[in-house]
Amino acid sequence: MNIVYAVATIFITINYGLVLQGIIGKVYARVATRIGLRIYQPYINIIRQWVTRTSINHGIMYYLGPVFRFTGGGGILIFLPVIYGAPFFSSFSSAGDMLLIMYFMFLGTLGMALGGGESGHPYAAIAVTRGLAQTTAAEFPLILAIFSIVTQYQTLDVNQIVAAQQGSVLNWTLFTNPLATIAAMLAFLGSMMRSPFDVVLAPQEIPIGPPTEYQSQFLAMLMTNRTIFPVAKTILYVNLFFGGVALQDSWLLTFVIFFLKTFFVYMWSVFVGVSFPRFRVDQSVRWFLKAPAALGVLAIIFVQTGM
Protein backbone atom coordinates (compact mmCIF):
# COMPACT_ATOMS: atom_id res chain seq x y z
CA MET A 1 0.00 0.00 0.00
CA ASN A 2 2.88 2.28 0.80
CA ILE A 3 4.02 1.96 -2.77
CA VAL A 4 0.73 3.23 -4.05
CA TYR A 5 0.90 6.16 -1.65
CA ALA A 6 4.43 6.89 -2.76
CA VAL A 7 3.51 6.92 -6.44
CA ALA A 8 0.56 9.16 -5.68
CA THR A 9 2.76 11.55 -3.70
CA ILE A 10 5.19 11.78 -6.56
CA PHE A 11 2.42 12.30 -9.08
CA ILE A 12 0.78 15.11 -7.12
CA THR A 13 4.09 16.79 -6.52
CA ILE A 14 5.00 16.67 -10.19
CA ASN A 15 1.85 18.51 -11.06
CA TYR A 16 2.30 21.01 -8.28
CA GLY A 17 5.88 21.57 -9.35
CA LEU A 18 4.86 22.16 -12.96
CA VAL A 19 2.29 24.72 -11.92
CA LEU A 20 4.85 26.44 -9.73
CA GLN A 21 7.26 26.57 -12.65
CA GLY A 22 4.62 28.20 -14.78
CA ILE A 23 3.93 30.79 -12.13
CA ILE A 24 7.61 31.51 -11.66
CA GLY A 25 8.01 31.97 -15.38
CA LYS A 26 5.27 34.53 -15.23
CA VAL A 27 6.81 36.32 -12.26
CA TYR A 28 10.15 36.58 -13.99
CA ALA A 29 8.51 37.85 -17.17
CA ARG A 30 6.42 40.45 -15.42
CA VAL A 31 9.39 41.73 -13.45
CA ALA A 32 11.11 42.18 -16.78
CA THR A 33 7.95 43.82 -18.17
CA ARG A 34 7.28 40.93 -20.55
CA ILE A 35 4.02 39.08 -20.92
CA GLY A 36 5.60 35.68 -20.54
CA LEU A 37 4.67 32.19 -21.62
CA ARG A 38 1.42 30.45 -20.92
CA ILE A 39 1.19 29.13 -17.43
CA TYR A 40 0.85 25.54 -18.68
CA GLN A 41 3.94 25.79 -20.86
CA PRO A 42 5.99 23.54 -18.52
CA TYR A 43 3.51 20.71 -19.21
CA ILE A 44 4.03 21.08 -22.92
CA ASN A 45 7.80 21.19 -22.55
CA ILE A 46 7.99 18.07 -20.46
CA ILE A 47 5.58 16.03 -22.53
CA ARG A 48 7.39 16.99 -25.69
CA GLN A 49 10.64 15.66 -24.30
CA TRP A 50 9.05 12.43 -23.11
CA VAL A 51 7.72 11.64 -26.59
CA THR A 52 10.67 12.72 -28.67
CA ARG A 53 11.59 9.91 -31.04
CA THR A 54 15.28 10.52 -31.68
CA SER A 55 17.73 10.08 -28.89
CA ILE A 56 21.48 9.64 -28.54
CA ASN A 57 23.47 7.93 -25.85
CA HIS A 58 27.09 8.48 -24.76
CA GLY A 59 27.48 5.38 -22.64
CA ILE A 60 26.28 3.47 -19.64
CA MET A 61 26.91 6.11 -16.99
CA TYR A 62 25.35 8.71 -19.25
CA TYR A 63 22.31 6.47 -19.51
CA LEU A 64 22.09 5.91 -15.79
CA GLY A 65 22.62 9.56 -14.84
CA PRO A 66 18.95 10.57 -15.09
CA VAL A 67 17.93 7.34 -13.38
CA PHE A 68 20.11 8.19 -10.40
CA ARG A 69 18.83 11.73 -10.47
CA PHE A 70 15.19 10.81 -10.42
CA THR A 71 15.79 8.11 -7.80
CA GLY A 72 17.37 10.78 -5.61
CA GLY A 73 14.56 13.29 -6.06
CA GLY A 74 11.76 10.77 -5.70
CA GLY A 75 13.50 9.16 -2.76
CA ILE A 76 13.58 12.37 -0.78
CA LEU A 77 9.94 12.94 -1.43
CA ILE A 78 8.85 9.57 -0.18
CA PHE A 79 11.22 9.57 2.79
CA LEU A 80 9.72 12.90 3.86
CA PRO A 81 6.64 13.14 6.02
CA VAL A 82 4.84 15.55 3.71
CA ILE A 83 1.70 16.10 5.76
CA TYR A 84 1.91 15.68 9.49
CA GLY A 85 -0.60 13.16 10.79
CA ALA A 86 -1.46 11.77 7.38
CA PRO A 87 0.01 8.36 6.62
CA PHE A 88 -1.00 8.93 3.05
CA PHE A 89 1.71 11.49 2.57
CA SER A 90 4.39 9.97 4.76
CA SER A 91 4.82 6.74 2.90
CA PHE A 92 8.37 5.68 3.78
CA SER A 93 9.30 8.20 6.41
CA SER A 94 9.86 5.36 8.84
CA ALA A 95 13.03 4.46 6.93
CA GLY A 96 15.02 7.26 8.45
CA ASP A 97 15.13 10.68 9.99
CA MET A 98 16.30 14.05 8.77
CA LEU A 99 19.88 12.87 8.28
CA LEU A 100 18.74 10.29 5.75
CA ILE A 101 16.90 12.93 3.77
CA MET A 102 19.81 15.36 3.80
CA TYR A 103 22.29 12.76 2.63
CA PHE A 104 19.93 11.22 0.10
CA MET A 105 19.82 14.58 -1.70
CA PHE A 106 23.35 14.02 -2.89
CA LEU A 107 22.59 10.77 -4.65
CA GLY A 108 20.81 12.45 -7.53
CA THR A 109 23.37 15.19 -7.80
CA LEU A 110 26.18 12.69 -8.01
CA GLY A 111 24.38 10.57 -10.58
CA MET A 112 23.62 13.48 -12.83
CA ALA A 113 27.13 14.82 -12.50
CA LEU A 114 28.57 11.48 -13.54
CA GLY A 115 26.12 11.11 -16.41
CA GLY A 116 26.95 14.55 -17.74
CA GLY A 117 30.61 13.77 -17.31
CA GLU A 118 30.47 10.81 -19.63
CA SER A 119 29.20 12.97 -22.43
CA GLY A 120 32.76 14.24 -22.59
CA HIS A 121 31.76 17.88 -22.71
CA PRO A 122 34.03 20.05 -20.59
CA TYR A 123 31.18 22.42 -19.73
CA ALA A 124 29.33 19.66 -17.94
CA ALA A 125 32.29 19.11 -15.64
CA ILE A 126 32.86 22.82 -15.16
CA ALA A 127 29.26 23.27 -14.10
CA VAL A 128 29.54 20.38 -11.67
CA THR A 129 32.68 21.79 -10.09
CA ARG A 130 30.91 25.12 -9.70
CA GLY A 131 27.84 23.49 -8.29
CA LEU A 132 29.74 21.31 -5.85
CA ALA A 133 31.90 24.19 -4.70
CA GLN A 134 28.89 26.37 -4.05
CA THR A 135 26.89 23.59 -2.40
CA THR A 136 29.63 22.80 0.10
CA ALA A 137 29.60 26.39 1.28
CA ALA A 138 25.81 26.71 1.28
CA GLU A 139 25.44 23.55 3.32
CA PHE A 140 27.62 24.85 6.12
CA PRO A 141 25.09 27.36 7.51
CA LEU A 142 22.38 24.79 6.95
CA ILE A 143 24.24 22.23 9.07
CA LEU A 144 24.67 24.82 11.79
CA ALA A 145 21.00 25.73 11.66
CA ILE A 146 19.96 22.11 11.80
CA PHE A 147 22.26 21.43 14.74
CA SER A 148 20.66 24.37 16.43
CA ILE A 149 17.08 23.20 15.96
CA VAL A 150 17.91 19.60 16.72
CA THR A 151 19.40 20.77 19.99
CA GLN A 152 16.29 22.83 20.53
CA TYR A 153 13.85 19.99 19.88
CA GLN A 154 16.15 17.13 20.98
CA THR A 155 15.14 15.00 18.04
CA LEU A 156 16.12 14.26 14.48
CA ASP A 157 12.68 12.97 13.63
CA VAL A 158 10.98 15.43 11.27
CA ASN A 159 7.56 14.34 12.51
CA GLN A 160 8.45 15.21 16.07
CA ILE A 161 9.86 18.56 15.04
CA VAL A 162 6.60 19.36 13.28
CA ALA A 163 4.66 18.13 16.29
CA ALA A 164 6.56 20.48 18.54
CA GLN A 165 5.54 23.43 16.40
CA GLN A 166 1.80 22.78 16.55
CA GLY A 167 -0.67 24.79 18.56
CA SER A 168 0.19 28.32 17.67
CA VAL A 169 1.97 30.21 14.96
CA LEU A 170 4.35 31.44 17.62
CA ASN A 171 5.49 27.86 18.15
CA TRP A 172 7.06 27.80 14.71
CA THR A 173 10.81 27.58 14.62
CA LEU A 174 10.69 30.85 12.74
CA PHE A 175 9.71 32.50 16.00
CA THR A 176 11.28 30.19 18.57
CA ASN A 177 14.66 30.12 16.82
CA PRO A 178 14.77 32.99 14.33
CA LEU A 179 18.54 32.94 13.88
CA ALA A 180 18.57 29.32 12.79
CA THR A 181 15.69 30.00 10.44
CA ILE A 182 17.44 32.93 8.83
CA ALA A 183 20.67 30.99 8.44
CA ALA A 184 18.81 28.09 6.89
CA MET A 185 16.77 30.29 4.57
CA LEU A 186 19.94 31.95 3.33
CA ALA A 187 21.42 28.50 2.75
CA PHE A 188 18.20 27.59 0.94
CA LEU A 189 18.99 30.21 -1.70
CA GLY A 190 22.22 28.43 -2.52
CA SER A 191 20.51 25.23 -3.48
CA MET A 192 17.69 26.62 -5.61
CA MET A 193 19.73 27.44 -8.71
CA ARG A 194 18.47 30.97 -8.89
CA SER A 195 20.27 34.28 -8.96
CA PRO A 196 22.55 35.31 -7.28
CA PHE A 197 23.67 31.69 -7.03
CA ASP A 198 22.85 30.43 -10.52
CA VAL A 199 26.23 30.64 -12.20
CA VAL A 200 26.21 26.88 -11.72
CA LEU A 201 23.81 26.48 -14.60
CA ALA A 202 23.67 30.03 -15.93
CA PRO A 203 20.64 29.04 -17.95
CA GLN A 204 20.13 32.04 -20.19
CA GLU A 205 23.39 33.13 -21.76
CA ILE A 206 25.72 30.19 -21.53
CA PRO A 207 24.20 26.79 -21.76
CA ILE A 208 26.24 24.85 -19.25
CA GLY A 209 25.80 21.85 -17.01
CA PRO A 210 24.81 18.22 -17.28
CA PRO A 211 21.22 18.88 -18.42
CA THR A 212 22.61 20.66 -21.47
CA GLU A 213 24.20 17.39 -22.58
CA TYR A 214 20.90 15.52 -22.39
CA GLN A 215 17.95 15.34 -24.77
CA SER A 216 14.76 13.40 -25.32
CA GLN A 217 13.63 11.05 -22.55
CA PHE A 218 16.86 11.58 -20.64
CA LEU A 219 16.15 15.27 -20.43
CA ALA A 220 12.50 14.55 -19.73
CA MET A 221 13.46 12.52 -16.72
CA LEU A 222 15.75 15.27 -15.48
CA MET A 223 13.03 17.84 -16.02
CA THR A 224 10.53 15.71 -14.15
CA ASN A 225 12.94 15.48 -11.30
CA ARG A 226 13.43 19.20 -11.44
CA THR A 227 9.76 19.72 -10.80
CA ILE A 228 9.73 17.62 -7.66
CA PHE A 229 13.18 18.20 -6.21
CA PRO A 230 12.77 21.87 -5.23
CA VAL A 231 9.31 21.13 -3.91
CA ALA A 232 10.68 18.33 -1.76
CA LYS A 233 13.33 20.63 -0.40
CA THR A 234 10.74 23.29 0.27
CA ILE A 235 8.60 20.79 2.15
CA LEU A 236 11.55 19.94 4.31
CA TYR A 237 12.07 23.63 5.14
CA VAL A 238 8.39 24.11 5.84
CA ASN A 239 8.49 21.17 8.19
CA LEU A 240 11.59 22.34 10.01
CA PHE A 241 10.97 26.05 10.28
CA PHE A 242 7.41 26.97 9.44
CA GLY A 243 5.29 24.61 11.48
CA GLY A 244 4.90 21.95 8.83
CA VAL A 245 1.55 21.03 7.36
CA ALA A 246 -0.70 19.26 9.79
CA LEU A 247 -3.70 17.26 8.68
CA GLN A 248 -6.77 19.45 9.16
CA ASP A 249 -10.39 18.44 9.49
CA SER A 250 -10.92 18.77 5.78
CA TRP A 251 -8.43 17.65 3.14
CA LEU A 252 -9.13 20.82 1.21
CA LEU A 253 -7.97 23.03 4.05
CA THR A 254 -4.91 20.85 4.49
CA PHE A 255 -4.00 21.27 0.86
CA VAL A 256 -4.59 24.99 0.95
CA ILE A 257 -2.22 25.34 3.89
CA PHE A 258 0.27 23.05 2.18
CA PHE A 259 0.20 25.04 -1.04
CA LEU A 260 0.37 28.40 0.68
CA LYS A 261 3.29 27.51 2.88
CA THR A 262 5.35 25.80 0.23
CA PHE A 263 4.49 28.48 -2.28
CA PHE A 264 5.81 31.31 -0.15
CA VAL A 265 8.91 29.49 0.96
CA TYR A 266 9.58 28.56 -2.64
CA MET A 267 8.92 32.08 -3.83
CA TRP A 268 11.50 33.43 -1.37
CA SER A 269 14.19 32.21 -3.72
CA VAL A 270 12.33 33.64 -6.69
CA PHE A 271 11.97 37.05 -5.14
CA VAL A 272 15.64 37.17 -4.24
CA GLY A 273 16.44 35.81 -7.67
CA VAL A 274 14.73 38.57 -9.60
CA SER A 275 16.21 41.22 -7.35
CA PHE A 276 19.90 40.47 -7.23
CA PRO A 277 22.63 40.05 -9.82
CA ARG A 278 24.73 36.93 -10.08
CA PHE A 279 27.74 36.00 -7.94
CA ARG A 280 30.83 34.26 -9.21
CA VAL A 281 31.40 30.93 -7.46
CA ASP A 282 34.26 32.09 -5.32
CA GLN A 283 32.18 35.07 -4.24
CA SER A 284 29.25 32.93 -3.28
CA VAL A 285 31.51 30.49 -1.38
CA ARG A 286 32.88 33.36 0.65
CA TRP A 287 29.43 34.84 1.12
CA PHE A 288 27.97 31.68 2.62
CA LEU A 289 30.89 31.29 4.97
CA LYS A 290 30.46 34.79 6.39
CA ALA A 291 27.09 36.15 7.50
CA PRO A 292 24.97 32.99 7.15
CA ALA A 293 27.60 30.89 8.91
CA ALA A 294 27.94 33.45 11.67
CA LEU A 295 24.18 33.44 12.15
CA GLY A 296 24.26 29.67 12.33
CA VAL A 297 26.97 29.75 14.98
CA LEU A 298 24.97 32.29 16.96
CA ALA A 299 21.89 30.14 16.64
CA ILE A 300 23.79 27.25 18.20
CA ILE A 301 25.21 29.38 20.96
CA PHE A 302 21.77 30.77 21.78
CA VAL A 303 20.22 27.33 21.93
CA GLN A 304 23.04 25.83 23.95
CA THR A 305 23.13 28.61 26.47
CA GLY A 306 19.34 28.65 26.70
CA MET A 307 19.02 32.30 25.69
Contacts of another protein in 198-257 (CB under 8 A): 207, 212-213, 216-218, 220-221
**Among residues 27 and 156, whose Cβ is nearest to another protein?**
156
Q: What is the DSSP letter of 84?
A: B
Q: Tell me the residue type at 138.
A: A
- 132, 246, 247, 274: residue in contact with another protein (rule CB under 8 A): 132
Asked if 168 touches another protein (CB under 8 A), the answer is no
Rounded to the nearest 10°, the torsion over CA 231, 236, 239, 244 is 20
Residue 213 exposed, middle or buried by CB count within 10 Å (0-12, 13-18, 19+): buried
Could you tell me the smallest distance in angstroms from the CB atom of residue 165 to another protein? 17
Q: Tell the burial category of 306 from Cβ atoms under 10 Å away from its Cβ (0-12, 13-18, 19+).
A: exposed
Instruction: Work out how close the CB of 124 gets to another protein at its nearest, in angstroms, rounded to a whole number.
Output: 8
In the complex, the smallest distance separating the C-beta of residue 63 from another protein, rounded to whole angstroms, is: 7
**At its nearest, how many Å lie between another protein and the CB of residue 252?**
30
Report the nearest approach of another protein to the CB of residue 253 (Å): 30
In this complex, which beta carbon is closest to another protein, that of residue 148 or of residue 165? Answer: 148
Distance between CA atoms of residues 141 and 240, nearest Å? 15
Which residues, in sequence order, are bridge partners of residue 78? Answer: none
Site for another protein in 21-80 (CB under 8 A): 50, 54-61, 63-64, 66-68, 70-71, 74-75, 78-79
Query: Between 16 and 92, whose beta carbon lies closer to another protein?
Result: 92
Please say which residue, 147 or 263, places its beta carbon nearer to another protein.
147
Burial zone of 23 (CB within 10 Å; 0-12 exposed, 13-18 middle, 19+ buried): middle
